[in-house]
Amino acid sequence: MNKMMKGSIAGATGVALLMGGFGTYALWTDSENLAENHVQSGVLTIDTAAGAYDDTRTGATNDWTASDLMVPGDVISYTQTFTVAGTGKNLEGTIDLDVEALDSTFSTLEYDVDVVASGAGATDITKNSATSFSFVDPFGTATLTATVTYTLPGTTTGTVDQAESASTPASAFTISQS
């Protein structure tokens, strides 16, 4: 028999003896459990309440009705509140009121829209313009108050702007993550 064949037989015999219980064959092992864990998402929402009209020339509040008619010198405001919520790490975005154009047959009626942020979360909301805000951190909850103001100047004379009308189409308030 040649040496190679003898070496192969000897090696196979050695392996057989080890596997047959004449030796030991072991590898170390250990284990640990991955702890139970979870993640949760935040929120980004906007909700609204019904608005109210106010005749700013009187001391009362919310005292303008659909049947009331403007005269020169009147300043009428429409106020509507929105509750915004933004929670979650790394949350940033914008809040915008897309104001539609005034549909009016008046020639002298002045029209203005402004939004103010208030409440605990308002300190984390930055006002960029009369109707636009941004935030770069979760802000919790805040209130946005949109006020539309109609002014019929007291300088309107004669028959100018009698029996005229104006309306603002519904405008979208949108809160978006960026």
Q: CB atoms < 10 A from the CB of 153, how many? A: 15
Q: With b meaning 16 or more CB within 10 Å and e meaning fewer, what string describes 55-93?
A: beeeeeeeebeeeeebeeebbbbbebbbebbbbeeebeb
pLDDT in tens, 47-76: 999 999 999 989 888 999 989 999 999 999
pLDDT attached to residue 24: 62
pLDDT attached to residue 19: 54
Q: What is the pLDDT of the chain when averaged over all its residues?
A: 89
pLDDT attached to residue 26: 78
- Kindly report whether the global pTM for this prediction surpasses the value 0.85: no
Region 82-87 average pLDDT: 96
pLDDT bin (cut points 50, 70, 90) of residue 25 is low
pLDDT bin (cut points 50, 70, 90) of residue 169 is confident
Q: Is the pLDDT of residue 175 over 60?
A: yes
Share of the chain above pLDDT 90, in %: 76
Region 142-157 average pLDDT: 96
56: left (phi over 0), alpha (psi -120 to 50) or beta: alpha
> Counting beta carbons within 10 angstroms of the beta carbon of residue 13, is it exposed (0 to 12), middle (13 to 18) or buried (19 or more)?
exposed
Q: Is 152:109 a contact under the CB 8 Å cutoff?
A: yes
Q: How far is CA 57 from CA 71, 73, 77, 149, in A?
A: 11, 9, 11, 13
Q: Is the pLDDT of residue 20 over 80?
A: no
